[in-house]
Amino acid sequence: MNKRLSRKIWIHTILIMAFGLLSLYSAAFNNNRVSQQAFFDQLLFAGIALALMYVLGRSDYRKFYDVAYVLFALNIFLLLVVHLGGRHALGARRWIEWGGLSFQPSELTKLSLILMLGRYFAHRRPSFSFDFFSTTSLIWWNLIYPFLLVLLPLLLVFKQPDLGTAILLFGIFFIMLFISGLEYKYFLALLSFVLACLPLFWKLLKPYQKDRFLVFLNPNIDPLGAGYTIIQSKIAIGSGGLLGKGWLAGTQSQLNFLPERHTDFIFSVIGEEWGLLGTLVLIYGYFMIIQTGLTIAEQIKDNFGTLVSIGIVAIFLLQVFINIGMVLGLCPVVGITLPFVSYGRTSFLVFAVMMGFLLNLSKKRTIF
């Protein structure tokens, strides 16, 4: 059973990586914004990621428990460094440059938040009584306090601005809070509070972010501006048909009609060149990883392991769903990459660590 779960993770992760590398090579081919060096960078980091998965898969996953709070604190520090002296590019300040390499702390936030919440909720199982003071104390420690902890990195990421990652962090918190055993009435109360704050959230958005939401409702209101990318994305995917136009043969991508095709909109390249069949193969790979993660979470006899596994599954599910929905026009464009496919060295390594964690857990049946 353990080997079968590990094999599933390895096979489908490598499948997705291979699909991503082929697509990135095509996306960087004849690209007037990025060179093919992006492909070779990704190829190098794919090798590093596989090695990292192997090492972490043979380590003790409980070491993540020991460093969870330290990693979270370090991540907060790095997010502050980004605001004070990070590299500014494409209208955002998200990167730290060191030794000729760039690093994106907001990607690390996904992992550090999952580990922090996993450790926190593992030993603070919500159990509310009818005693007023006891209930108030438990609500604070099991609901309000972790919410405030999540709010800090969320606001720092949102300020960069990185709306997509901020939404993901919020989604991770809600899913892990629900899995932790919080009573429905408290969970729904928090959700209602968040929904009531949406008008304030709208006022905090930058003009181009508001335009993206309006374009989501009607891409044709600004076909040459905010709606251009999503229109070209739909054309690319629709023109791929069942079997696609062939590798390096996509007209929308190769003729530079499709912006950001090496990052957020790489799924459009896949749809155009590999067709519906190719996109279904890729989605199948993600589905198998998510299913395997849920199986591991169900079988592991450890609160921390279960919670972190659910957190990893949640980030995969949310990120894949939002990215694909985004390029199909089913979700607003919020700048979400496709795991192991879109170009991004920090993202590649962070997801590799997550896969290494699942590989390690697939071999465990211990009580923590």
The predicted-structure confidence for 27-77, as pLDDT tens digits, reads as follows: 888 777 777 888 999 999 999 999 999 999 888 888 889 899 999 999 999
Tokens representing 3 are: 């080997």
Model confidence at 23, pLDDT cuts 50, 70, 90, reads very high
Model confidence at 324, pLDDT cuts 50, 70, 90, reads very high
Question: How far is the C-alpha of 266 from the C-alpha of 236, rounded, in Å?
Answer: 11
Domain range for residue 58? Answer: 2-361
Task: Supply the pTM of this predicted model.
Answer: 0.89
**What pLDDT score was predicted for residue 367?**
39
Please determine, for residue 1, whether its predicted confidence score (pLDDT) is greater than 60.
no
Cis check for the bond before 161: say yes or no (omega within 30 of 0): yes
Residue 367 domain flag: no
Residue 234 domain flag: yes
Order across the sheet with 92-98: list the strands: 87-89, 92-98, 101-103
DSSP at 221: G
Residue 206 domain flag: yes
The predicted-structure confidence for 170-191, as pLDDT tens digits, reads as follows: 999 989 888 887 777 777 877 8
Query: What percent of the chain is predicted at pLDDT more than 90?
Result: 39
- Do the beta carbons of residue 276 and residue 241 sit within 8 Å? yes
C-alpha triplet 327, 217, 32: angle, nearest 5°: 40
User: How many Cβ atoms from other residues are within 10 Å of residue 218's Cβ?
Assistant: 9
Residue 366 domain flag: no
Tokens representing 327 are: 């390029």
The pLDDT of 277-297, averaged and rounded, is 94
Tokens representing 97 are: 């440059």
The pLDDT of 110-128, averaged and rounded, is 80
User: How many Cβ atoms from other residues are within 10 Å of residue 262's Cβ?
Assistant: 25
- Across 239-254, b (16+ Cβ under 10 Å) vs e yields ebeeebbeeeebebbb
The count of structural domains within the chain is: 1
Residue 352 domain flag: yes
Q: What is the CA radius of gyration of the chain?
A: 21
**What pLDDT score was predicted for residue 132?**
42
Residues, the chain: 368
Residue 73 domain flag: yes
The predicted-structure confidence for 215-252, as pLDDT tens digits, reads as follows: 787 777 767 666 788 888 889 998 888 998 989 888 88
Please determine, for residue 199, whether its predicted confidence score (pLDDT) is greater than 60.
yes
Residue carrying the six token digits 């030794």: 99
Q: What three-state secondary structure class fits 341?
A: coil
- Do the beta carbons of residue 116 and residue 145 sit within 8 Å? no
